[in-house]
Amino acid sequence: MAVSESSRIGKRGTFVIPARLRRIFGIQEGSEVIVEETAEGILIRPAVTVPLEMYDSERKAEFLLSNAVDAEDYKHALDAVRTMGLDPTKIPHHRPGDD
């Protein structure tokens, strides 16, 4: 059963989430939260952040070449890498059948 607790809005719109709720939802100082407008009012919930890796052209080419499943797929990967303006011989990768 959900329990209601009250809190006050402070200077600059600061809002204190009661300690019991912070513990339940794993919210600590510096945690990110999402604040949404809903039909019932304001919803505040923990945010889930996922690290994002950005791939440059060489890394994308490595994926294309290393993930080829057979000789025909590898040929298509070679063509795609060349279309990217890269030399496939300069990209470290594994060919199909290499172990």
CB 41 within 8 A of CB 68: no
pLDDT band at 48, cuts 50/70/90? Answer: confident
CB 46 within 8 A of CB 35: no
pLDDT at 35: 93
Q: Please tell me what DSSP assigns to residue 17.
A: P
Across 3-7, 36-40, 68-72, least confident range: 3-7
In the chain, which residue ranges form alpha helices assigned H by DSSP? 19-25, 57-66, 71-83
